[in-house]
Amino acid sequence: MKEEQKISSKAGLLKMLREKQGAPISGGVLAKELGVSRVAVWKTVQALVDAGYLIETGETGYLLNPENEKDFLYPWEFGENESMYYHYLTTDSTMDRARELLTSKLLTSKTAVRKTESVSGNEVSRAIITAEKQSAGRGRNGRTWVSRQGGLFFSILEQPNKEGWRLSIADYAQFSLVMQIAVVKSVSYFCCKQAFLRWPNDIYINNRKIAGITTEISGEGDLITWITGGIGVNINNKTPFPKAVTISEIKGRQISRKEVLKKIIEEIDIIKKTFISKASYSQGNRALASEWNSLADCIGAKAAIFEPEKKDDIINEISGKTLARGIFAGIDPAGRCIIKTDTEKGDLYFNQGSVSLAFLNT
């Protein structure tokens, strides 16, 4: 087959079985197309069965019934891009696994589910780490992100300089804006209704939270050497709290997490290409900020900026020190929250960080 040098045997075998839409394929045909022995085909099938795929074996060959397909996020589900993917059945946090991948040059991991055969390709500047469950999923500022079975929990790790970008530490918020816009567009696409952004990192639909994002960076000098974005989207999971909602709840049916993930990555690349120059991210980005503001639903609303109270390592979003009250006026080109006040202080600007934004009467 044409893609045999780009994808693993698992990915190639699944592709062929799915193209048959439930019709069997003989081991001989699979072996010839994949360029492997029939024994290798049998071993690949067994490995997929062990991973949870319902592949039937009969006298006429192997069969994958489309009606019995499960929602998997294994690396080989992503075809020629599988070298970028790492999948955990359970882990503490995909953000922690992303950090480990950095220290091992992105391509080695002893506990992640990986392909067992080699796939051609050079060292990648991006890695995507997914998990079925997280025991210590992290939100912004170390808050706990509840990670229930059926949700999409992943981290995307990028090394800007290896992609040709020059991302300064001062402009780290721009990558967060890119991810937020990508997620809100993807959620809107699958829900068939508009989702909205709320500063600094949440996505809401019908006034209920459906996704959240957090970022971590490391740099040398004034440039970022790596940046990691952690993204959680409620898809088929039970809602973690009353004011949350899932895509499946809105659509009334189960939604493929794999397709949502692919859409988010696709949107990230489109947004970067549209709004970001490869020369530099520096000096803010008016066009990117304008796009973000066009997707926010609380511009013009009364709001308060506050520092959440922290006791015994637990963040209390209800109580804390209020820093400012006024009207939320969106973000500036650097991604800073703008609060308009009727005091002599005028407009106030707040960076993404330890502060939170609360909308009053929304």
Rg of the chain on CA atoms, in Å: 22
Q: What is the DSSP string of 308-360?
A: EEEETTEEEEEEEEEEEEEEEEEE-TT--EEEE-SSTT-EEEE-SSS-EEEET
pLDDT tens readout for residues 115-129:
333 333 335 578 999
Higher pLDDT, 127 or 317: 127
With pLDDT > 90 as the criterion, what percentage of the chain qualifies?
Answer: 57
Please name which of 204, 218, 73, 229 lies closest in space to residue 139, comparing C-alpha atoms: 229
Q: Mean pLDDT across the stretch 81-88?
A: 92
| Residue 217 confidence (pLDDT) | 84
Name the band, by pLDDT with cuts 50, 70 and 90, for residue 344. Answer: confident
pLDDT tens readout for residues 148-186:
789 999 999 987 766 666 677 777 888 899 999 999 999
Helix count (H) and strand count (E) of the chain?
9, 14
9-19 and 27-34 helices, crossing angle to 10°: 130
Domains plus CATH for the chain? 9-68 (1.10.10.10), 75-294 (3.30.930.10), 302-359 (2.30.30)
Looking only at the bridges linking them, the beta strands covering 314-331 and 55-58 are unpaired
Looking only at the bridges linking them, the beta strands covering 85-91 and 126-134 are parallel
Specify the range with the lowest mean pLDDT, choosing from 190-204, 257-271, 301-315.
301-315
Contact 297, 198 (CB under 8 A): yes
Nearby residues of 143 by Cβ (< 8 Å), 6 or more positions away: 315
